[in-house]
Structure 1
Amino acid sequence: VFDHAWADAWERAGGQYYPKLQVAVPFTPAPGPRLLLRDPAQAPALIAAIEAVTDQHGLSSAHATFVCPDQLPAFEAAGWLIREGTQFH
Structure 2
Amino acid sequence: MAVEYRGFRVTVDAKADATDTQWLCRAVMEGVDAQVETAKLPSVELAIPKLKIDVLMALSVVEQNAKQAVDEYWHAKQPEMA
Q: How high is the TM-score relative to the length of structure 2?
A: 0.28
Higher relative contact order (CA 8 A, sep 6+): 1
Q: How high is the TM-score relative to the length of structure 1?
A: 0.27
Structure with more helix by fraction: 1
Structure with more strand by fraction: 2
